[in-house]
Every structure is written in structure tokens, then in C-alpha cells.
Chain A
Amino acid sequence: MEFTTDNAKIWLDTYKKTVFLTGTFRLSNDQYDNMTLILNDSLAAIPAGLTIDLTGLELLNSSGINVIAKFVIGVRNGKGTDLTIHGSKEIPWQGKSLPNLKKLFPALNLVID
């Protein structure tokens, strides 16, 4: 389960129960369907204890932020799923944007290190 562009990649590592996003996702709104699909399929495969690892995601545009936010809201609305989002202090946009996901879903386990 993976999707790659010239600059970015998203894939599920089932052994680590983790979806990894790396590189730069700056797609147009309608080009994010594959990312949405992989996130939703990953949640279906690992309904509890899924981690989204963003530590290799250098850049994300607002359409991509929208995809991640919609996914988090979807998990929240499904109730009870233990979701972790792992970000990096070394990537400035993550410190500015990711804390808002916690406001959308207070039970989210947000780790930025």
C-alpha cells in the first residue's frame, strides 16, 4: 500500500503499524485522493494503535493539511481509536500546524520530538 510522486511518498508499514509520509506533498486538492485512500485503508487494516509518521515530511501545502485534518476528524468521529501522529521539531511547519490537530481531537497522541 503506497503512493509516490516525484517528490514524496506515503506507505503503510503493517509490521510497525505506521503510515509514513516523506518528502514534499504539494499537490492540488483533487490529487490528494490517493493519500486519503491510503490513510483510510490503513485505518481499516489497523483500527487501533495506528501511527502516522510525519518526521520525514518536509513540506505540506494547505490542501495536504486539509487531508490530514479530515482524517483526524474522521477518526475522532469513529470514537475510541488510539491514533498517534509523530512529527519533528526539526521541521518548522510541523510545530506551527500539528498542534491544531490536537485541538480537533483532544484524545490524539501527538508527539513532536
Chain B
Amino acid sequence: MAIQDIRNYTGQITQENPQIRIRLNEELHPRWAHCDMISRYLGHLTGTLDLEKLEKSEVAELGDSVNYVANELLENAIKERSGGSIEICSGAKGHTVTLVVSNRIEAAKSEKFKASLQKLFDGESSLEEKFFATMEHNEAHPEAKVSGLGFLTMMIHHGADLSWRFESGEPAHPGRVSVSARLTASVF
């Protein structure tokens, strides 16, 4: 995947007709504890989505991935948000669950985010090589403030097909970033 896909992938983001839509409004003061609560809830609800027939164990495994990925996306949203609401949508088709998390983001943070994605997908190394290189780097640099493992673990451990949409804003009105994760039972 290359950086241009981040823009081209927008067609796959499906916020229009989700089966579940949760909005954390500014008045709630969205915070870290909400991530775990909501992602567990979404994980538990996986079996009630409009999925094609799966074995009970497959639903449980898919729910575990929904729980993990939703938590990671919400943690990112809490860290990166510039006020306003955080919205998380979930829906299913076939054997795939799609999660979309969106939040407001300032222009400077948005550019930094895009640069980190560029780094994630650039170069010759595979995602797995980058995953191990990141862990080695983190051990050698314990002062690092971020692990850099979130998207890598979503993709490598949970088979998440990720895409991003950035909507530009104005100085007084930050833009918005939406991150989509597609999780398919058959990839396990």
C-alpha cells in the first residue's frame, strides 16, 4: 500500500448506513476509559450484526478482533482529537465487519498523521519487518512517547484492512479524519 491509497480508499469507508453508530459528544468529555468500555461493547455485539453464518468460535474470534481494533482506533481518536465529537460506526456484510472512527483534527496534527502513514507504507520492508524493527527501536529508545505499533498490530495480528480519509478544515474549524478498518472472519 502506498500513500496515495490513503486518499483513494475513501470509497470503502461506509459511514452512511452503519448498523451501529455511537457518538461521544464534547459534553461527555471523551476520555481514555471510554475506549475500553465501547470497544468491549462492540466486540460483544459482533454476533448480532448482519453477518453471514459463521461458527460460534469464528464469531468469538471476530469479536475479539473488533474489540482490539475498536479500542486502538478510539485511543488514537482520544489522543489526536481537536475538540468536537468522536463517532464510531460499525456494520457487517458477508463475513466482514467494518469499523469507522472519526474525529476532528488540527491541520498540523493531520499532516503529522499523514507523514506517519507515509512512513508506515513506504520502502521495501514488509509490514512484519517494520513491526519487528519498531519493537527493536522502542527497546533501544525507552524515552519514546509512542509505541508506533497500533496500526501494525491491527494489520498483522488481526488482518485489518485499513484506510483513511482526511477532510481539510480552516484555522477556526479543524478538519476531520476518518479511519476505516475491515475485519474479515475468513482471514484467520
* Cβ-defined contact, A61 with B138, below 8 A: no
Interface residues of A, dominant DSSP: helix
The stretch of B12-20, B68-76, B166-174 that contacts the partner chain: B68-76
Q: Looking at the complex, which of A13-21, A41-49, A90-98 is the stretch in contact with chain B?
A: A90-98
Chain A contributes a number of interface residues (CB within 8 A of B) equal to 24
- Whole-angstrom CA separation of A30 from B147 in the bound complex: 10
* B135 & A73 in contact (Cβ 8 Å cutoff): yes
Is the Cβ of B132 less than 8 Å from the Cβ of A61?
no
* B132 contacts across to A, CB distance below 8 A: 100, 103-104
B63 (CB) vs chain A CBs: closest residue: A92
Contacts of A29 in B (CB 8 A): 145-147
User: Do A61 and B72 have beta carbons less than 8 Å apart?
Assistant: yes
Q: Which residues of B contact A109 (CB under 8 A)?
A: none
Q: Is A112 an interface residue (CB 8 A)?
A: no
Say yes or no for A62: interface residue by CB 8 A criterion: yes
A92-B60, A100-B131 known; A74+B139 contact, CB < 8 A: yes
A96: min CB distance to chain B, Å: 4
Give the residue name and chain of the A residue nearest to B154 (CB): A62
Mask, B123-166, CB within 8 Å of A = 1, is 00000000110011011001001110110110001100000000
A63 touches B147 (CB 8 A): yes
Interface string of A10-36 (1 = CB under 8 A from B): 000000000000001010111000000
Q: Are A69 and B139 closer than 8 Å at their CB atoms?
A: yes
A66 within 8 A of partner (CB): yes
What string of 1s and 0s marks CB contacts (under 8 Å) between A59-88 and chain B? 101110110011001100100000000000
Q: Which of B32, B157, B158 contacts A28, CB < 8 Å?
A: B32
B178 sits at the interface (CB 8 A): no
Q: Does B136 lie within 8 Å of A61, measured CB to CB?
A: no
Closest to B142 in A: A70
**B60 → chain A, closest Cβ, in Å?**
7
B36 within 8 A of A: yes
Across the interface, name the chain B residue whose C-beta is closest to A96: B157
B64, CB-defined interface residue at 8 Å: yes
Task: Note all chain A residues with C-beta closer than 8 A to B180.
Answer: none
Set of chain A residues within 8 Å of B72, measured between Cβ atoms: 61-62
Query: Does B90 sit within 8 A of A, measured CB to CB?
Result: no
B interface residues (Cβ-Cβ under 8 A, vs A) = 32, 35-36, 60-61, 64-65, 67-68, 71-72, 75, 79, 131-132, 135-136, 138-139, 142, 145-147, 149-150, 152-153, 157-158
Please name the 5 residue pairs, one residue from A and one from B, whose CB atoms are nearest each other, closest first. Answer: A66-B147, A92-B64, A73-B139, A96-B157, A62-B149
Chain A to chain B contacts (Cβ below 8 Å), 13 pairs: A26-B35, A59-B68, A59-B71, A61-B71, A62-B149, A62-B153, A63-B149, A65-B153, A74-B139, A92-B60, A96-B158, A97-B157, A103-B132
